[in-house]
Amino acid sequence: MNLESTKSLVYTEPAALRSAIRAGEFNAHTSGQCPGYAQANLAVLPKTFAADFLRFCQLNPKPCPVLGMSEPGDPRIPALGPDVDVSTDIGGYFVFRDGEMVEEVRNLKAAWREDMVAFAIGCSFSFEEALVEAGIPLRHFEQNRGVAMYRTNIATQAAGRFGGPTVVSMRPMTPARAIRAIQITSRFPNVHGAPIHFGDPAAIGIKDIAKPDFGDAVEIQAGEVPVFWACGVTPQSAIRAAKPPLSFTHKPGCMLVTDLRNSQLAVF
């Protein structure tokens, strides 16, 4: 089943979707799948890099909120679902060697090694669902684009070889909606939480708001300000810069769909 044929198909249960992915029956983007359930970014690193990476996440919780991690060598993360196997349950993977993407694979069975450690990192899908439920329209949804993302001049706190700039996602909205969006996303510290900036892009080192470093540009309309959230691309950039001999990530848009409900992630 390819992307086109699955567009109108929505799984409601994460275990059913993971089972379909595992069986090779689904490899589409997971946006909109399993409403109410948290989706996660995947990062898989050799054990020798994992301790520093975990410390990097602990030091930088806004861009790098860890939802779960595996035992070394074990691709399962039971805390995210009793059957979750990150080597098979995602629709597509990128394989990196020395920080360079070398291959896209359908699963990690062949590439897996006994020293690999998997990290599941919170994803903005969770808070975007809460924003839309609260009646806050998101321009990149309206325009059917990817969210706009930018490298900033806000340095992460380094840990070992992991460091580099904070990457942010940007959503334009009116100040009144931005205030509401700050309230809503504050409830979700495990999926990037409140914004880290709004307004002047130059104040955080963004030279041209019309030219995102990742994703797609979206229009900022009159009366709107850009609102910036810390983004899960930050740890991916840090991993590339750290150049581990081998690492894996999910293919962008094909996330790990977990049994955690977004409402469980809300702190109040």
Give the binding site for a second copy (CB under 8 A).
Answer: 175-176, 178-179, 182-183, 186, 194-200, 203, 223, 225, 268
Nearer to a second copy, 32 or 175 (CB): 175
Nearer to a second copy, 92 or 172 (CB): 172
The least distance separating a second copy from the CB of residue 7, rounded to whole angstroms, comes to 36
Task: Enumerate long-range contacts of 107-112, CB under 8 Å, 24 or more apart.
Answer: 108/44, 108/75, 108/248, 111/246, 111/248, 112/75, 112/87
The least distance separating a second copy from the CB of residue 256, rounded to whole angstroms, comes to 29
Nearer to a second copy, 87 or 234 (CB): 234
Query: Would you say 43 and 53 are in contact if contact means Cβ atoms under 8 Å apart?
Result: yes
The least distance separating a second copy from the CB of residue 158, rounded to whole angstroms, comes to 21
The least distance separating a second copy from the CB of residue 131, rounded to whole angstroms, comes to 15
Nearer to a second copy, 145 or 180 (CB): 180
Integer Cα distance of 15 and 81 in angstroms: 8
Nearer to a second copy, 189 or 252 (CB): 189
The least distance separating a second copy from the CB of residue 268, rounded to whole angstroms, comes to 5
**252 burial type by CB count under 10 A (0-12 exposed, 13-18 middle, 19+ buried):** middle
The string of DSSP codes covering 146-187 is PPEEEEEEEEPPPBTTB--EEEEEEEEE-HHHHHHHHHHHHT
